[in-house]
């Protein structure tokens, strides 16, 4: 599936649509250059899911956690990861349980240590907006 998103509000709205269509568990890889809207998409998802607290980019912390009732949402940003093995040291396997949904930015930096993706969402900057592509992997 491809869709043109004209601005950050459209990107957040698409994230809200994901709340309606994604299962409560799984792994979503988010690809795109810096500033492409990956965190904005996750923010849209979390707001639609009813999360009212602060939603910040995990650029420096690597992961932010958001409790949503029975489900836990993890938002990873691996941009600053120096070595994929660092994921093993932080206990990456503990984040993927049966009641967890993980959004992972820059998944290529964690290659070999991440579970396979259920979906890959790519955001590409084009014509003042974003071209969003969704690929199902399973």
What's the CATH code of the domain at 30?
Answer: 3.40.50.300
Residue 137 in any domain: the answer is no
87-138, pLDDT tens digit by residue?
A: 998 888 888 877 899 999 999 999 999 999 999 999 999 988 999 999 988 6
Question: Which residue segment(s) compose the domain that 62 sits in?
Answer: 2-128
Is 138 among the domain residues? no
Q: For residue 71, is it within any domain?
A: yes
Q: Is residue 20 part of a domain?
A: yes
135 within a domain of the structure (yes/no): no
Query: Phi, psi at residue 19, to the nearest 5°?
Result: -55, -35
pTM, rounded to two decimals: 0.93
User: How many domains does the chain contain in total?
Assistant: 1
């Amino acid at each position: 599936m491809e869709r043109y998103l004209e601005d950050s509000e459209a990107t957040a709205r698409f994230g809200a649509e994901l709340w309606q269509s994604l299962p409560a568990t799984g792994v979503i890889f988010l690809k795109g250059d810096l500033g492409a809207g990956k965190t904005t998409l996750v923010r849209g998802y979390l707001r639609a899911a009813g999360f009212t607290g602060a939603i910040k980019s995990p650029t420096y912390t690597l992961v932010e956690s958001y409790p949503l009732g029975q489900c836990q949402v993890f938002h990873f940003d691996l941009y600053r990861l120096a070595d994929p093995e660092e994921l093993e040291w932080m206990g990456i396997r503990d984040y993927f349980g049966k009641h967890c949904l993980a959004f992972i930015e820059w998944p290529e930096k964690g290659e070999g240590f991440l579970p396979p993706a259920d979906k890959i969402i790519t955001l590409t900057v084009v014509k003042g907006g974003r071209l969003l592509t969704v690929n199902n992997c399973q």
